[in-house]
């Protein structure tokens, strides 16, 4: 390697060194062999080290003023005295733009990273560290635009320390915050500890909700600081939850995919009861919903005063639709004041033809209060593997609806599409996330679901 460095003269250097268990310490020795005259030419370093290489041998204690990309994997901690905030590269990291920290589970660097744009902390198992250790690092990254946390705070612990820092950390340039397998409780605490911009996309993927925690402990803090989120998609059964809320232009969004780890009753009934504390529901104009427990939906609709389009869809394996239809119709026909006064489009998707008595009564009541529906769609569930019969109404039923609704369509496509949204996560040219961490949709209906990727 020394010969290569000499021949490269003044060229920039990218170095990758991997520790082999059979050649323990190899990567440390390679770092030792870099002449001081080459430190200023190092642009990228991808290295796998033992903890002793960092804390005892000090093999990352040389200046790297031109280093732009760092991937550091740190393993084998036995018998090593560890500092929680070590300073790497003698503090000379002003040029660093992208940093990935893998398996560095007992510590985070204490450097100031004034130009860091991308930060990836993965496979960290940070249960041993309090939230304040992470916020200490984030406070040193004022220009950060994308933050990914993979397998961070992912295990059940009763003593998880998510106490907030003394002061919230400002990350006003952050455009993308994503996590994979972190508990919803931990991510909620992290967001509460940050001051974020109005245009940010927050993705919380494969997040466990632990049975020893309460619904309120897992609700995100208020997202009122974000640009108004006008579109909301919600799907939930007793175990899984899918939630996606976006602004008109998509610059602001929150996407949650979470799983309840406990027994019945599910946490989602109570969790959704707090949803208005997280999201500004009066801003929602389009709402698509498919849930097992329809009692959670009327309280949400009562707060959606600007709602213009509502799509409701039965869970594909649910063949009993009477309560779903009656619950929605009851809240939409309720007077004093009438719910969702601007509602123009109602789409209902089921496995079989419903009784339309409640629908006719609701449409008539809304027309009486000058809140007439413009479009009513009755359709099947368009998901692979959904067992269903064709929706059909007789001539009398269609005529009764036509009295109160301008446009009645039977079939032809309900508005609940459950499609992947594009543009998630800032693209980082220096690495790709593991396949499981990349954006993809997992809906509660299991076998009827086709996972889609961004």
Neighbours of 264 (CB within 10 A): 7
The pLDDT of 99-122, averaged and rounded, is 92
- DSSP code of 163? P
Rg, Å, the chain Cα set: 27
Q: What's the confidence (pLDDT) of residue 451?
A: 45
Neighbours of 246 (CB within 10 A): 21
Does the pLDDT of residue 221 top 80, yes or no?
yes
Does the pLDDT of residue 2 top 80, yes or no?
no
The pLDDT of 178-207, averaged and rounded, is 94
Does the pLDDT of residue 140 top 70, yes or no?
yes
Q: What's the confidence (pLDDT) of residue 1?
A: 57
Cα-based distances in Å from 375 to 67, 284, 313, 415: 59, 18, 16, 11
Of residues 223, 203, 224, 211, the one with CA closest to residue 185: 211
Does the pLDDT of residue 217 top 50, yes or no?
yes
**Vertex 353, ends 295 and 318: CA angle to 5°?**
45
Q: Please name the helix (run of DSSP H) or strand (run of DSSP E) that holds residue 242, with its range, or none.
A: strand 240-246
Beta bridge partners of 74: 49
Give the residue ranges of DSSP H helices in 250-405. 268-273, 275-278, 297-303, 322-333, 357-368, 395-402
Give the residue ranges of DSSP H helices in 87-143. 131-138
Give the lowest-confidence range in 153-167, 211-225, 346-360. Answer: 153-167
Q: Give the N- to C-terminal CA distance of the chain in Å, as an integer.
A: 40
Q: What's the confidence (pLDDT) of residue 385?
A: 67
Give the lowest-confidence range in 43-57, 87-101, 274-288, 433-447. Answer: 433-447
The span from the CA of 315 to the CA of 235, in Å, is 9
- Evaluate the omega torsion of the peptide bond into residue 337 and state whether it is cis, within 30 degrees of 0: yes
SS3 158: coil
Q: Could you tell me the pTM of the whole model?
A: 0.92
Segment 341-352, tens digit of pLDDT: 999 999 999 988
Of residues 111, 120, 122, 118, the one with CA closest to residue 143: 118
Sequence-ordered list of residues with C-beta below 8 angstroms from that of 167, at least 6 positions apart, any chain: none
Does the pLDDT of residue 153 top 80, yes or no?
no
The span from the CA of 210 to the CA of 213, in Å, is 6
The per-residue pLDDT of the chain, averaged, comes to 87
Q: What's the confidence (pLDDT) of residue 282?
A: 98
Sequence-ordered list of residues with C-beta below 8 angstroms from that of 61, at least 6 positions apart, any chain: 88, 89, 90
Segment 350-362, tens digit of pLDDT: 988 888 999 999 9
pLDDT band of 448, cuts 50, 70, 90: very low
User: φ, ψ for residue 438 (rounded to 5)?
Assistant: -70, 155
Asked if residues 200 and 177 have their Cβ atoms less than 8 Å apart, the reply is yes
Segment 320-349, tens digit of pLDDT: 788 899 999 999 998 778 999 999 999 999
Of residues 25, 13, 83, the one with CA closest to residue 59: 25
Q: What's the confidence (pLDDT) of residue 106?
A: 78
Q: How many CA atoms lie within 13 A of 277 on its CB side?
A: 13
Does the pLDDT of residue 446 top 70, yes or no?
no
Of residues 333, 337, 334, 330, the one with CA closest to residue 373: 333
The span from the CA of 350 to the CA of 312, in Å, is 9
Q: What's the confidence (pLDDT) of residue 155?
A: 60
The span from the CA of 16 to the CA of 27, in Å, is 9
The span from the CA of 454 to the CA of 449, in Å, is 16
Q: What's the confidence (pLDDT) of residue 154?
A: 63
Q: What's the confidence (pLDDT) of residue 94?
A: 95
Give the lowest-confidence range in 25-34, 132-141, 176-185, 336-345. Answer: 25-34
Does the pLDDT of residue 364 top 90, yes or no?
yes
Using the CB atoms, write b or e for 342-365: b if 16+ within 10 Å: ebbbbbbbbbebbebebbbebbbb
Helix, strand, coil shares of the chain, percent, nearest 5, are 25, 25, 50
């Amino acid at each position: 390697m020394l010969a290569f460095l000499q021949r490269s003269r003044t060229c920039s250097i990218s170095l990758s060194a991997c520790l082999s268990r059979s050649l323990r310490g190899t990567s440390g020795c390679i770092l030792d062999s870099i002449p001081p005259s080459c430190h200023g030419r190092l642009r990228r370093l991808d290295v796998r080290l033992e903890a002793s290489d960092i804390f005892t041998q000090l093999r990352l204690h040389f200046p790297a003023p031109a280093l732009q990309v760092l991937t550091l994997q740190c393993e084998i901690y036995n018998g090593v005295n560890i500092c929680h905030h070590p300073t790497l590269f003698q503090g000379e990291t002003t040029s660093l733009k992208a940093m990935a920290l893998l398996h560095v589970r007992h510590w985070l660097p204490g450097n100031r990273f004034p130009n860091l744009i991308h930060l990836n902390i993965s496979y960290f198992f940070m249960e041993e560290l309090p939230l304040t250790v992470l916020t200490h690092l984030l406070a040193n990254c004022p220009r950060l635009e994308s933050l990914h946390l993979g397998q961070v705070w992912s295990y059940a612990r009763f003593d998880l320390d998510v106490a907030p820092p003394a002061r919230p950390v400002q990350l006003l340039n952050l455009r993308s915050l994503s996590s994979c397998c972190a508990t919803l409780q931990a991510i909620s605490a992290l967001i509460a500890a940050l001051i974020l911009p109005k245009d940010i996309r927050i993705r919380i993927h494969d997040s466990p909700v632990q049975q020893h925690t309460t619904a309120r402990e897992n609700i995100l803090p208020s997202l009122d600081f974000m640009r108004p989120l006008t579109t909301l998609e919600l799907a939930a059964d007793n175990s899984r939850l899918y939630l996606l809320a976006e602004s008109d232009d998509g610059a602001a969004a929150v996407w949650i995919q979470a799983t309840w780890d406990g027994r019945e009753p599910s946490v989602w009934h109570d969790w959704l009861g707090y949803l208005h504390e997280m999201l500004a529901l009066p801003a929602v104009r389009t709402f698509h919903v498919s849930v097992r427990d329809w009692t959670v939906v009327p309280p949400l609709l009562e707060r959606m005063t600007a709602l213009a389009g509502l799509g409701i869809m039965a869970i594909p394996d649910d063949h009993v639709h009477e309560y779903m239809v009656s619950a929605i119709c009851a809240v939409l026909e309720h007077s004093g004041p009438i719910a969702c006064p601007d509602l123009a489009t109602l789409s209902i998707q089921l496995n079989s033809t419903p009784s339309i008595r409640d629908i006719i009564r609701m449409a008539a009541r809304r027309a009486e209060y000058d809140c007439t529906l413009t479009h009513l769609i009755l359709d099947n569930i368009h998901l692979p593997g959904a067992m269903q019969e064709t929706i059909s109404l007789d001539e009398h039923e269609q005529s009764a609806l036509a009295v109160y609704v301008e446009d009645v369509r039977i079939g032809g496509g309900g508005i609940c599409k459950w499609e992947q949204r594009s543009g998630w996560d800032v693209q980082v040219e220096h690495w790709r996330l593991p396949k499981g961490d990349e954006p993809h949709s997992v809906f509660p209906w299991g076998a009827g679901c086709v996972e889609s990727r961004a």
